[in-house]
Amino acid sequence: MKRSSKIISTLALSLLLQACASAPSGRGPVNDLCPIMNKPVKTTITTVYKGETIGFCCKGCIKKWNAKEETVKDAMLKSWKGN
């Protein structure tokens, strides 16, 4: 019984750590302006890209963001984070 309890605890901890690693930063969007329309973002319209929350001015812009090439999205993310 102790062994199975220990295994379950280890698995639960592992799942929790994985969830934290892929979760958004929790600080709100990393950008102030929509990457598609260059308008102020609404903090309620977001998506997560590589663990960072990206804000948009409207839901339609999320679809356009998703269609962009990864290299373009990476460059934008880098510029917002100041890296």
For 47-78, the pLDDT digits (tens) are 999 999 999 999 999 999 999 999 999 999 99
Query: Mean pLDDT score of the chain, rounded to an integer?
Result: 83
At 11 the pLDDT is: 54
At 27 the pLDDT is: 79
Q: What does the pLDDT average to over 33-52?
A: 96
Q: How far apart are CA 62 and CA 29, in angstroms?
A: 13
Which residue, among 56, 38, 36, 37, has the nearest Cα to 46 in the 3D structure?
56
Percent of the chain with pLDDT over 70: 70
- The residues spanned by each domain of the chain are 24-81
* Helix (H) or strand (E) segment spanning residue 60: helix 59-67
At 22 the pLDDT is: 43
Reading the block at residue 25, the tokens are 């930063």
pTM: 0.67
Q: Is 26 left (phi over 0), alpha (psi -120 to 50) or beta?
A: left
* Helix (H) or strand (E) segment spanning residue 55: strand 52-56
